[in-house]
Amino acid sequence: MKETTLRIRFLGDPVLRKKSTPVKHITPDHRDILSKMAQLMYESDGIGLAAPQVGINEAMIVADVGNSSLYKLINPKIVKKEGSQVTEEGCLSLPGVCIKVKRARKVIVRAQDELAQTLTLEAEGLLACVFQHEIEHLKGKLIVDYASFFQRLKIKKKLEELKNASTLLSISTRSILSEQSESKERSNEELPESKTKSCKLQL
Ligand code: NI
């Protein structure tokens, strides 16, 4: 698990699609990774980051939505959801992509802190959105999974510019093409405006 320098992994890196394992024993290594993740999140102008995004499939996330609270959470789980909200989300692992995602407006998250203390956090609005986004990263889920077929075509173009994505891109291109023939019947009114511009919120 020990990684000295962390770097953001982009779509196409299989680590982003793997399920993260729970952290059983919290060690100084985990605390070190969490600090480095927080540092990388700030350097990248992000408001959240999950361990798979730095190549580590262990259940850890960091978040800071700018209200001077930095959250470093281990084994986070959503135990309650309430209401709904739609937010235009970006993801540090999908540069230049912005997707509207519907999520719960309020969540209760149970997690452990760096010292293995159990925390119960109530979050609303943006922070609730970030927690849900990051916890999905731990399950291998990405915002691109919320995109419509047409959005994904646009995103695919963007992602072709990304380095390190060559292998998976050929796979996703194939699946997009096979999907294309099935969904030709779709009406144009479903065509979304391009959401492939860079997004304000990077998670
Ligand atoms: Ni993300």
Structural domain includes residue 158: yes
Structural domain includes residue 9: no
Helix 149-160 vs helix 166-182: crossing angle, to nearest 10: 150
- Mean pLDDT is lowest, of 56-70, 100-114, 157-171, for 157-171
What Rg do the C-alpha atoms of the chain give, in angstroms? 17
Give the distance (Å) from ligand 1 centre to CA of residue 190: 25
CATH number of the domain enclosing 31: 3.90.45.10
Structural domain includes residue 153: yes
201 in Cβ contact with 103 (< 8 Å):
no
Structural domain includes residue 4: no
Sign of CA dihedral 65, 70, 40, 157: negative
SS3 104: coil
Query: Residue 152's pLDDT band (boundaries 50, 70, 90)?
Result: confident
Give the distance (Å) from ligand 1 centre to CA of residue 166: 20
Give the distance (Å) from ligand 1 centre to CA of residue 201: 10
What's the pLDDT score for residue 72?
Answer: 98
Give the distance (Å) from ligand 1 centre to CA of residue 82: 22
Give the distance (Å) from ligand 1 centre to CA of residue 187: 30
H-type alpha helices, the chain: 28-43, 125-137, 149-160, 166-182
Structural domain includes residue 198: no
SS3 of 24-49: CCCCHHHHHHHHHHHHHHHHCCCCEE
What does the DSSP 8-state code read for residue 18? S
Active site residue 134: yes
Structural domain includes residue 82: yes
Q: What pTM, to 2 d.p., does this model score?
A: 0.81
More confident of the two residues 178 and 19: 19
Q: Show the domain range for 149.
A: 14-190
> CA–CA separation, 20 vs 56, rounded Å?
8
> CA–CA separation, 105 vs 123, rounded Å?
8
> CA–CA separation, 203 vs 191, rounded Å?
25
Number of domains into which the chain is organized: 1
Structural domain includes residue 7: no
Among the options 3, 82, 88, 134, which is catalytic?
134
Sign of CA dihedral 65, 67, 70, 76: negative
Structural domain includes residue 6: no
Does residue 40 register a pLDDT over 60? yes
Give the distance (Å) from ligand 1 centre to CA of residue 152: 16
